[in-house]
Structure 1
Amino acid sequence: MSLMPKKSKISPPQFLAMGFTSIIVIGTILLWLPVASIPGQRLSFIDALFMATSATCVTGLSVVDTTSHFTFFGHIVILILVQLGGLGFMTMATWFALAWGKRVSLRERLILKEAMNQHYMEGIVRLSRRVIIYSLTVEFVAAILLSLRWATEMPVGQAVYYGVFHSISIFNNAGFVLIEGSFAAYADDLFINVITVILIILGGIGFIVLSDLIEYRRTRTLSLHSKVVLSASGMLIVFGALVIFLMEFNNVQTLGPLHGGGKVLASIFQSVSLRSAGTSTIDITGLRESTQFFMIILMFIGAAPGSTGGGIKVTTFVILIGSVITMLRGREDVVLFRNRLSKEHTYKAIMITFIGLALVVSGAMIMSTTQSHSFLKLLFETTSAFGTVGLSVGLTPELTTSGKIVIIVMMFIGRLGALTLAYALQPRIHKELYRHPEGKIIIG
């Protein structure tokens, strides 16, 4: 396996950025072909670029209706881009190399470590192999269950096609659906809701956590990372569902028409979807502005590191909250599950959050100068792109070319990761040979 020259000076973050860019370019060309769209509806180049970026970055924002605009060829291209973007091209390349009996070089292990957001290189190839096996197994089981459900209301061939497409799209938190109005028709369907929610959660907690859970029967222990991700994700889902339920209970455009059980299901579904999935069982455009703003906050937090989702990540959010609590209590160390975190974790969490806020706010401000829509809608769309969520208030199809470019950039950064992009753009680091004297400033 030789993905890059042995003497290449390209850093792992730069190689990842180039890899995702290459996939997007190839996807753009394929979706731009006349065969990808129905006759007479060929995509413009910018729209093809938008859709390829959205699929590769597993976002789900669309400038055209995915169901009716694309041919079978177009759907397959989108599905392949989603799978490559979700699992990561380095993970897929490693799997193919191992299948052909090739060795994975040290440099390629470094790139894998960066791609999977790991601290150590030990066991990285084994983890990448597990990622492929776990993912394909989950997608296969979900495809069978969804196919059996849809076979009761459509031809078997179409049901199987829908089952495969949606299992891959939902597990990778992509948000592309072939059903008119997303999953609104299944708002009170317990079977569809449960399968979809499980798929979103499994894709959003990250492959490291998924591996920990599968190995738990043997090890009887979970890593600190897994404990933080599972507890934080659970609390955010419950809190999000409760807020959506209370805010939208009487809204006739969203939860209002549903019965009690349907309201609960829809609230849970939408809260889970905010982790990074992009599917919905209610009309996002009909939500109250307060609910939409609350969703912006949850989308900005995003999913877990090493997952198919974007955002600043739940672990970053937990470290920030932990740092605030630690300072208010007058203590020195952030402690989670009886484990002390280093100062580096806090500095990195602050940097990621600051970069994320700067990107989202800048993107929304740029959009406000070129798009004739309310700032809240622009902020919602920009945050959805950064968090690779894919939920939309109906703004995406109406974007101008400049607006589409902004969203494309936000989706790319959201999938690659603000920190990885920062490392990719920075010059080579030279260790300082001296330290400046310590100074004092007044804060607060």
Structure 2
Amino acid sequence: MRDPNKKRRWRLTPPRVLVCGFAFIILLGALLLMLPISNADGKSLSFIDALFTATSAACVTGLVVVDTGTHFTMFGQIVLLTLIQLGGLGFMTMATMFAIAFRKKISLRERLILQEAMNQGTMEGIVRLIRKVIGYALVIEGAAALLFFVRFSYDMPIGQAVYYGIFHAISLFNNAGFDLFGPITGPFSSLTSYVGDPIVNLVAMFLIISGGIGFIVLSELYDYRRTRRLSLHSKVVLSTTGFLIVVGAVVIFIFEFTNTKTMANMPLMDKIWASFFQSVSPRTAGANSLNIPDMRQASQFFIVILMFIGASPGSTGGGIKTTTFSILIGAVLAMTRGKEDIVMFKYRLAKDRIFKAVTLTLLALGLVLSVSMILSTTEDQEFLAILFEATSAFGTVGLSMGVTPELSAFGKVLISLTMFAGRLGPLTLAYALGPKSERELYRHPEGKITIG
């Protein structure tokens, strides 16, 4: 007998729409990347490699099994750039942009999906926020593309400098980490040839940070001169982001200062640029100005921690997010001081925020450790390199210790799924794949368990 509630239980809720939408974009991108016109050798790319690359682009990660600049034609690179923009801003954001352009009314259901996509707690002002998101993205990417063009024009023909400026501005703002420098400085070289270049470093870091702090924060910063106020969310994001960047730069500077394979022979200013860039990039851009496999294990493991934390809510980045990290640190401090509440900037946090932060962190930790354990069985690589790869995929970072091109077919599929889960978020996937929760009609009696 047919269950009358089955159809209702499996209807397309906002989280399921996001999952299905991203899956469709990835599959379409993979099919386009398989075409001979997308590949420089004129041959078809294997489905597994195309699926991996499309997933990495749509999930704005940057892990690659083939070098973007040397393997793909301009058509293939534009396919990747489109996937990056769709994945970074969100396909619902782009769909809303076209709806606004054609004066189409945004339905309640579409607003609910946008609320889920932007990680908002309310639908109020969601369409206005989308307009701002699109505006900020175009202005920031356009300005950065112009600055990159001016700098790159000294190293390459004008036409190529224009194209490189646009590609890398979009890639870095969306925290994707794809680059085209393979034909110039060698495959998988990223920004290593610009390690001490102040213009490239400043523009790239600005793009990564502005794309990673989230559009809510960007909006409040833009309006600050008029409102003279920032929300608690923005204060926590900005303070945590600043703290992690400075601490990360100091730690990497100390660990790599005497490393002859990375920074030992660099001038002091180049060391400072490299330290800051490698502190910013794991949050979750994936570009690198130092060769990651040559870094000390202490630096590599520290980067794993930065990648796991990731960017901020409502941004183009992944990870457990800076706000989640702040809540966890706040909980530890409150417990050790004997406080009952977590207080930030004179505001007490609600209990449900704390439970959500703990749940998200444990789900993320479970995912990264599970993927690492499986890959340590299927791949012939050192465990730190595998842990680095799994965390990079979950955090949609794109940094690698050289493992990605050597992954088995199973490893590529597993990392692709990890990137997919990291971009959507473990909680969104859990809501999308799990049954609809029902309100409990009673509460159990309280019990106590000894801890510590």
Alignment partner of 1:231 is 2:233: no
Structure 1 unaligned spans of 5+: 1-5
Residue pair 1:274, 1:302 contacting (<8 A) in 2 also? yes
Residue pair 2:10, 2:435 contacting (<8 A) in 1 also? no
TM-score (structure 2 length as normaliser): 0.96
Which residue of 1 is the match for residue 138 of structure 2? 136
Q: 1:270 aligns with which of 265, 268, 278?
A: 278
Alignment partner of 1:38 is 2:16: no
**Structure 2 matches for 1:297-312, cutoff 5 A?**
297-312=305-320
Q: What residue identity is the alignment partner of 1:393? A: M
Instruction: Give the secondary structure class of the aligned counterpart of 1:234.
Output: helix
Distance 1:268 1:193 in 2: 9
Q: 1:24 aligns with which of 11, 20, 26?
A: 26
**Structure 2 matches for 1:56-71, cutoff 5 A?**
56-71=58-73
Shift of 1:408: 0.2
**Structure 2 matches for 1:33-432, cutoff 5 A?**
33-180=35-182, 181-432=189-440
Distance 1:183 1:68 in 2: 15
Shift of 1:41: 4.4
Shift of 1:80: 0.2
Deviates more, 1:425-434 or 1:68-77: 425-434
Q: What residue identity is the alignment partner of 2:178? A: F
Shift of 1:9: 2.3
Instruction: Give the secondary structure class of the aligned counterpart of 2:343.
Output: strand
Deviations 1:353-401 (A, max 9, x none): 0000000000000001100011110000000000000001011000000
Shift of 1:402: 0.8
Instruction: Give the secondary structure class of the aligned counterpart of 2:124.
Output: coil
Shift of 1:403: 0.6
Shift of 1:438: 1.1
Distance 1:323 1:45 in 2: 45
Q: What residue identity is the alignment partner of 1:419? A: L
Deviations 1:66-120 (A, max 9, x none): 1100001000000000000000000111111011010001111011000000011
Residue pair 1:54, 1:411 contacting (<8 A) in 2 also? yes
Shift of 1:42: 2.7
Large movers: runs of 4+ above 6 Å: none
Which residue of 2 is the match for residue 3 of structure 1? none
Distance 2:324 2:315 in 1: 14
Residue pair 1:41, 1:69 contacting (<8 A) in 2 also? no
Residue pair 2:396, 2:422 contacting (<8 A) in 1 also? yes
Distance 2:20 2:425 in 1: 14
Instruction: Give the secondary structure class of the aligned counterpart of 1:13.
Output: helix
Residue pair 2:48, 2:409 contacting (<8 A) in 1 also? yes
Residue pair 1:312, 1:352 contacting (<8 A) in 2 also? yes
Distance 1:412 1:318 in 2: 24
Q: What residue identity is the alignment partner of 1:72? A: M
Structure 2 unaligned spans of 5+: 1-7, 183-188
Distance 2:435 2:192 in 1: 48
Q: What residue identity is the alignment partner of 1:16? A: L
Deviates more, 1:36-45 or 1:160-169: 36-45
Distance 2:367 2:438 in 1: 27
**What is the number of equivalent residue pairs in this alignment?**
439
Distance 2:447 2:231 in 1: 38
Distance 1:335 1:284 in 2: 38
Residue pair 2:41, 2:71 contacting (<8 A) in 1 also? no
Instruction: Give the secondary structure class of the aligned counterpart of 2:283.
Output: coil
Distance 2:241 2:380 in 1: 36
Q: What residue identity is the alignment partner of 1:188? A: G
Residue pair 1:183, 1:279 contacting (<8 A) in 2 also? yes
Deviates more, 1:36-45 or 1:368-377: 36-45
What RMSD in Å do the two structures reach over aligned CA positions?
1.2
Q: What residue identity is the alignment partner of 1:344? A: D
Q: What residue identity is the alignment partner of 1:25? A: L
Shift of 1:285: 0.5
Distance 2:10 2:330 in 1: 40
Distance 2:410 2:9 in 1: 39
Instruction: Give the secondary structure class of the aligned counterpart of 1:294.
Output: helix
Distance 2:60 2:116 in 1: 19
Distance 1:370 1:7 in 2: 37
Distance 1:54 1:117 in 2: 21
